[in-house]
Amino acid sequence: MRTFLTVCADPRRTSLGVAVILCLTAVGCQRTSGTASAAGPPPAPLVSVVTLKPEDVAIYSEYTAETYARDMVEVRGRVDGYIEQRLFQTGADVKAGQVLYTLDRRPYQADVAKAQGDLEQNQASHQFAQHQVALLQAEADLKQAEANMLKAKQDVDRLQPLVKEEAAAQQDLDNAIAALQANEANVNSRKANVEQMRLSTQAQIDTTSAQVDSTKAQLAAAQLNLEYATIRAPISGRIGDSLIQVGGLVTKTSAMPLTTIVPLDPIWLRFKVSESEYLGMQKSANEARVLQRPIELVLADGSVHPYPGHFQNTVNQVDPKTGTLELQATFPNPQHNILPGQFGRVRLKTNDRKGVLLVPQRALLDLQGSQSVYAVDSSNKV
């Protein structure tokens, strides 16, 4: 029987170590050969020896992790209409602004045309009101009435001395005075009409101006609805399956989205640490350095993601059911080969140990939870 043992520590246990090895060797030999005692004592077991030296060692921790899409977007219709075209393949990568669907645009094109016509009509009315044609006519009538009143006053002024000298008839003066009074009343009426037309014209200008603004807003809304009839990707990412096919009706109040888009670069990842580990990180003097260190992602097939990740944030409370805290990190994913929902392991360097001895795993003896190793002294004894 040949036994290989890697040893590394305490020379004070030499007699016990040798006894155990020799006893096991002797028992094995007796069971395999009935003539072993007659042939003499069995040979000493062969062991391998490792010389240990203090080293500086990095301590890593591993946690089960899951990828997810933090900024997933549901693509929805913003106007009602029937789908005429679907311009993407399920599972393809799309760019922000890329056309995904086109709806029936004819109703919205008609709305745009109507709004444009209404705007032109209201602009014409506003322009007419600004010219103040009715006010100018009223002012002209007022000037004519004032001229007539002036002539009537001149007739009265001319006849009064003539009547006193009996060079003109009293009837002519009376007629001139009546004409003057009539013209004065006409002037007052024309002044009131001018003021009324001035107020009416200003109101018309304000009204037509408001109508122009209103129809401009209606035109903008119609143009926006026409634009919404072409549905574009709001973000870049990988697009899912279409839940409504060509010919289906899209409604802006539908609870079901048309499709979804998930951004893949960077990819988000979440994992949980225990409450004790979190408290240990808080107490650690180098907590900031730990959280700033790059993170390694080991995928489900054992391969290592070539791009290191970094911490982004933690959630705001410990899960009382599991006693764990969720941490979140991002990893560059330029090839888009990592998808949301995948599982893996994150490996994080959490500490540096100075001057420690590294013992091979095979050299450890585990007995009822107590671990020990065999050591070789200067006499080459275990």
Cα separation of 117 and 122, whole Å?
9
Cα separation of 197 and 193, whole Å?
6
Using pLDDT thresholds of 50, 70 and 90, give the confidence band for residue 346.
Answer: very high
Cα separation of 16 and 84, whole Å?
86
Higher pLDDT among residues 217 and 152, named by residue: 217
Using pLDDT thresholds of 50, 70 and 90, give the confidence band for residue 193.
Answer: confident
What's this model's pTM, rounded to 2 decimal places?
Answer: 0.62
Angle, CA 6 vertex, CA 4 and CA 11 arms, to 5°: 120
Q: What is the mean pLDDT of the chain?
A: 83
Q: Which residues neighbour 41 within 8 Å (Cβ) at sequence distance 6 or greater?
A: none
Highest mean pLDDT: which range of 18-27, 79-88, 127-136, 359-368:
79-88
C-beta separation of 83 from 248 below 8 A: yes
Highest mean pLDDT: which range of 16-30, 121-135, 332-346:
332-346
Cα separation of 108 and 266, whole Å?
38
DSSP 13: G
| pLDDT at residue 236, rounded to an integer | 92
Cα separation of 348 and 59, whole Å?
8
| pLDDT at residue 21, rounded to an integer | 37
Res. 321: pLDDT tops 70: yes
| pLDDT at residue 97, rounded to an integer | 94
| pLDDT at residue 116, rounded to an integer | 95
For the segment 230-286, what is each residue's pLDDT rounded down to a tens digit? Answer: 999 999 999 999 999 999 999 989 999 999 999 999 999 999 988 888 777 766 555
| pLDDT at residue 230, rounded to an integer | 96
Share of the chain above pLDDT 90, in %: 39
Res. 297: pLDDT tops 60: yes
